[in-house]
Amino acid sequence: MAHPFEEHPTVVGSFGRQLFISDEGEELHGESEAVNPGYYRDAAHAGLQADAILSGIWQQFPNDGYMVKTAIAREVPHRPECHAAADFDFGIRLGERGMFYFVDEYTTKYRNSDDSVGRGAGAKSDDSGYQA
C-alpha cells in the first residue's frame, strides 16, 4: 500500500480489500467476495480513485486496514461524537484533502466478532452513513 504514495503525490490514503474472519479466526472467503464489491473494492475500481470524497461516501475507503499520510491523519482526528459513523466521517474528511488509491488485493483481516460495533449490544451500524 506504500507504492501509490510514491507514484502519485496527491494520494493521502491507500487501502485494499478486507478479508473477513470469524470470531475464532476462520477466513470467510465467501463473505469477503460478497461484501467487498458492494463497497467498490473490486478489480473494476482498482487504482487511483477519481473522487476521494465519493469514495468516502460509498465507504469504499474502509474502517481499518489503510495507510494515510501522517500529516493528514494528524489534521483529521476521529470524532467520537459520530459514534458508529466515526469511520465513515473520517473517510470523507480525508477525501477532502487529497486522493485515494485502491490496491486490488487483500490488505487486512476484518474480524466479525460478537462484540463488534455492528453486532454487539446496541449495534446500529447498518445506517452509519445516514447517522453521519
3-state SS assignment for residue 90 = helix
Instruction: Label the pairing between strands 99-111 and 47-48.
Output: antiparallel
Please tell me the pTM assigned to this model.
0.85
CB 88 within 8 A of CB 129: yes
Q: Which cell numbers in the block locate residue 57?
A: 461516501
* Residue 123 pLDDT class (50, 70, 90 cuts): low
For the chain, the structural domain boundaries read 10-112
Reduce the DSSP state of residue 54 to 3 states and report it.
Answer: helix
Per-residue pLDDT of 34-89, as tens digits, reads 999 999 999 999 999 999 999 999 999 998 889 999 999 999 988 989 887 888 99
